[in-house]
Chain A
Amino acid sequence: MNLRDLVILVADPSSYISMLIHGMLRGFGSNKILEVRNSNGVLQTLMGQKIDIMICDMHLPPHGGLSLTRAIRGKTDNEHRTMPILIMSSDSREATIKRARDAGGNMVIAKPISPSSLYDRLSWIAFNPRKFVDTETYFGPDRRFKIEGYPGGVGRRAGDKEVEIGAESGPALAQDDIDNLFSSVQTGKD
């Protein structure tokens, strides 16, 4: 994956977390990284320049990263409407991941973030472009897809079970299961 000259926007309220993500992205070869602390900062940045991908915290103030994602996807005359959005969340319960998916996020990455999990999710977005769906109630990447393994990465483990879609809340999910939730519509579980 070649991140050189791609403009990456990191939107996280914590300057420390942003700094860590910044360091990881530099390690991946990225040389154009912008940081903002809130949704207003994101909107101002998007008005001022072209952003190639946004990595956004779910708790981004003032209204959260999902509201922001819906706003970006919902605005019809917005050149960033189809921009890839990777949502970071420390709440990895099933209901939360579904909300992120239904807001139009391309993927969800569980916090705390490790270099390998970040690399693999960026890589997946880069190498597996998804069609967009435009309906009355949703605009965003097609939520029906299957992760067969990350490009050059480890993918799912052979012994992993399919995630069961059940109650609205529950225990935190592992990153593999978060990824798998994005495919649940296709498999008829959601």
Chain B
Amino acid sequence: MAKGKHPKSGTQKPGPSTNAAKTNAAKSDSAKSGGAKSNSVKSGKRRPPGPPARIFPVETRFQQLARRTGGVPREQAIERAQSALEEAKPAYEDFLEREVAGLADLVRTVEAGNDEPGWIETVTFRSRQLRDSAGSLGYELVAFIAGSLCELLDSIEDSSEYMESIVCHIDALMLARQRSYRRMRPEQVPELTRGLQRVVKHVTI
């Protein structure tokens, strides 16, 4: 597709190209005035000031088109998005099963002394994914445990030293993925949440 043309209309794009022109004009203006100003600065103690800041209006295609009439009203849009998330939940529970099982397998393999290059990056990526997806879909306990694991992983330098703390979180995730636990909130299992918080606190201090 030709650069500068919008895929839908095939015409020259309206906003940003104009903005790019404005930007270039702004830059050349800045260069002129800035150069004059810097000559007036005395040498020595102070660094010569750079060109003055240019402030210019920008109206992008996003702003122009998003303000058109005929869009979905806010309440309806949010309701429809929420419905899309509800529809994703059955598939998510299968995904949750697979992800937690995959995490547990990986950590068990490493714990057993097998070499798994990049395993900590994989655990970090998967725990972030679990935290963010579970949070968006309302699986609060899973989101809490995965979030606690992320916090732990972010704060340790040598993961092998803290393998026990990682395994502790994986065990908690194994519990939380079960049908009877997966819709629970952290405050409904206070012993578990307090225990994980203590583990993370111990590691991060």
Contact = CB atoms under 8 A, between A and B. Distances in A.
Interface of A: 1-7, 13-14, 16-17, 19-20, 23-29, 32, 47-50, 52-53, 59, 76-84, 90, 111-116, 118-119, 122-123, 125-127, 129-136, 141-142, 152-153
A50 B58 contact: no
Contacts of A4: 65, 70-71
- Which residue, of B30, B61, B81, B147, has the highest number of chain A Cβ atoms within 10 A? B81
Given A27-B72, A28-B77, A90-B147, 12 more contacts: A4-B65, A20-B137, A27-B79, A28-B80, A50-B13, A111-B132, A112-B133, A112-B134, A119-B74, A129-B57, A133-B53, A134-B53
Interface string B66-90: 1111111110011111111101100
A119 B77 contact: yes
Given A131-B55, A133-B53, A112 B135 contact: yes
B124 to A, nearest CB: 9
User: Interface size for chain B: under 10, 10 to 19, 20 to 34, or 35 or more residues?
Assistant: 35 or more
B40 interface: no
Interface in B1-55: 1, 3-8, 13, 16-17, 19-20, 23-24, 26-27, 30, 50-51, 53-55
Given A14-B132, A76-B24, A131-B55, A115 B6 contact: no
Contacts of B185: none
A13 B62 CA distance: 24
A17 B65 CA distance: 26
B65 A6 contact: yes
The 9 closest A-B pairs by CB, nearest first: A112-B135, A2-B71, A27-B81, A27-B80, A115-B81, A23-B84, A126-B66, A136-B50, A24-B81
B7 A16 contact: no
14 contacts: A5-B8, A5-B65, A20-B136, A23-B85, A28-B77, A49-B1, A50-B13, A82-B19, A111-B132, A111-B135, A129-B59, A132-B19, A134-B26, A134-B53
B97 to A, nearest CB: 13
A90 B150 CA distance: 10
Contacts, number: 203
B61 A52 contact: yes
Contact of A80 (B6, B16, B24, B136): B16
Contacts of A26: 80-81, 84
Given A5-B65, A23-B88, A52-B65, A142 B55 contact: yes
B71 A134 contact: no
Interface of B: 1, 3-8, 13, 16-17, 19-20, 23-24, 26-27, 30, 50-51, 53-63, 65-74, 77-85, 87-88, 95, 125, 128-129, 131-137, 143, 147, 150
A35 to B, nearest CB: 15
- Which residue, of B13, B78, B83, has the highest number of chain A Cβ atoms within 10 A? B78
A6 B59 CA distance: 14
Given A76-B27, A116-B78, A134 B54 contact: yes
Contacts of A2: 65-72
Nearest to B137: A20
Nearest to A118: B81
Contact of A50 (B6, B88, B136): B6
Contacts of B88: 19-20, 23
Nearest to A151: B74
Contacts of B80: 26-28
A81 B20 contact: yes
